[in-house]
Amino acid sequence: MEEKKVCIVGAGVSGLAACKYLAQKGFHPVLFESDRVVGGVWARTLPSTRLQSSPLDYQYSDFPWPENLTKIFPDHKQVVEYLESYARRFDLLKYVRFGEKVVSLDYVGAGEDEMEAWDMWAGNGEAFGGSRRGTWHVTVRNEEDGSCQVHIMDFVILCVGRYSGLVNIPSFPANKGPEAFNGEVIHVMDYCKMGSSAADHFLKGKRVTVVGFRKFALDVAAECANVNGAEYPCTMIIRGKHWNIPKFVAWGIPLHYFCLNRFSELFFDRPGGGLLLSILATLLSPLVWLFTKFTESYFKKILPIKKYGMVPEHSFFQAMFSCLVCVLPENFYKKVEEGSIVLKHSKSFEFCKNGIIVEGDTSPINTDLMIFATGFKSDQKIKDLFVSPHFQKIVIGSLDFTIPLYRECIHPRIPQFAIIGYSEHASNIYLSEMRARWLAHFIGGGFLLPSINDMEKSVKEWDKYMKRYLGKFFRRSCITSLHLWYNDQLCKDMGCNPKRKKGFLAEWFTSYKPTDYANLEEEQKSML
């Protein structure tokens, strides 16, 4: 039997997991990584960046952190070391082609009209499409010499994540953008590539302005404050306020007791849950309000967010379930109070010769260095990989609709292709591993996908759910609030028991950890 060729794009958290589980299914995947190391965004991030969750939540199910780990929130170097150890433990490095960047994907086989007529994904619901199968022509560029080579693959798994690649820089009117500024303008990713000592030297003695108020922005502002203090304060231009908190604990109670267990998921009318669960969600909905007020009262008490006008317009519930909550750098508001960080609210701003002029001000913020921590064009990054204009148009869908991926992995109308790591959760490594397992089981012939219409119906149900509870703060790629319901669906597809705890109370009122899913493969084998 001809061996099927499967390639993975990206050797970060998701790519390593996909590689491991495919290898366990007997495949020999090719993993293309443009960098020279594994780790993805963790390998190129700010020196001070650390985990925002407990190591017990951020780990692979069968690979615990070292016993000598002492930090509550490991830093990025420790995360990279953990990922490298994982790759060595499961002998994954032999599959990785470092320094090779995938620059285009071209599906050769069925035409657009034929694919539109299919009732089943790839023609028959199987991973490789049976007799109707096509192939992917994957163009890869060698980052050392610039040469390109085309690889023929039967299946492509995209694991490029959301926080790297094509940077997002706001647009400005003519003569109001960086061209009017005498100082230096960079994106936070440029800063991340410098390394710790070079970055400190780069910031030293400069008046820095940072645009943004999420994780990258918070970390780079804190680093600037550590280097320069109040003598050269770092100004943060904040266009949107967020619930940035010191840790996921309120009034002494870990927040996972309120929002990351089975009982808390009963508060929501889940996609495909049925009438009984819908009625129960309606009856329990006041508990969502109670949880929100409970947590907000605590963070308003311990953080000076009222003093500095930093209370968000959205609720903590909406932030939590939109994956918009960040952990603050240590002593962040202390740095604000001492004057080494200045918070400046403004929906818009423009450049001038000596700095930045924010909306409503006439005098500029004198600036030597502007750092944009304004995110990435992750949608565009994925679109640009495809040669086909049709695939470019449909792969990410429209901005007012959830990401059109069945089980957050499979596009119903793009055959022999999957994405892992695009949709977010409070612990992305946890979710990525579950998806990698599910996808490897599918590629290995463990189950067929439902019809294209049924997959698209499922995607629409998730879209309806997200918009119902998040309203105008709807984000297209976060499933934190129903991650157990989602995991249950993956487990059922794989023929595994979704209930992983021992005892009624543990099952319903304690949070699930990656280790709860450590024995899924043994269950699959026992059912064969």
For the chain (528 residues), the mean pLDDT of every run of 10, in chain order, is 87 96 96 94 82 86 88 84 96 97 94 91 91 88 95 96 81 91 92 83 94 92 94 94 92 85 88 88 90 94 95 88 86 95 92 90 91 89 94 90 92 96 79 95 96 95 83 72 88 93 91 89 63
Does residue 226 lie within any of the structural domains?
no
Does residue 86 lie within any of the structural domains?
yes
Strand 417-419 with 6-9, pairing: unpaired
| Of 244, 253, 200, 257, nearest in space to 224 by CA | 200
Task: Please give the residue range of the domain that contains residue 499.
Answer: 6-164+377-526
Length of the chain in terms of residues written: 528
Total of domains in the chain: 1
Q: Which DSSP string do the residues of 461-492 spell out, in sequence order?
A: HHHHHHHHHHGGG--TTB-GGGHHHHHHHHHH
Strand 369-372 with 184-187, pairing: parallel
Backbone φ and ψ for 398, nearest 5 degrees, come out as -95, 155
* pLDDT score at 165: 74
Sole residue written with tokens 């028959």: 124
Does residue 381 lie within any of the structural domains?
yes
Does residue 199 lie within any of the structural domains?
no
Does residue 192 lie within any of the structural domains?
no
The H or E element that residue 237 is part of is: strand 234-238
Exposed/middle/buried for residue 360 (C-beta within 10 Å: 0-12, 13-18, 19+): exposed
* Non-local CB neighbours of 196 within 8 Å, separated by 6+ positions: 47
**What CATH number should be reported for the domain holding residue 11?**
3.50.50.60
Does residue 182 lie within any of the structural domains?
no
pTM of the model: 0.92
Does residue 61 lie within any of the structural domains?
yes
Does residue 424 lie within any of the structural domains?
yes
The H or E element that residue 294 is part of is: helix 286-302
Q: Which residues of 390-415 are buried (b: 16+ CB within 10 A; e: fewer)?
A: ebeebbbbeeeebbbbbbbbbbbbbb
State the Cα–Cα distance between residues 489 and 492, nearest whole angstrom. 5
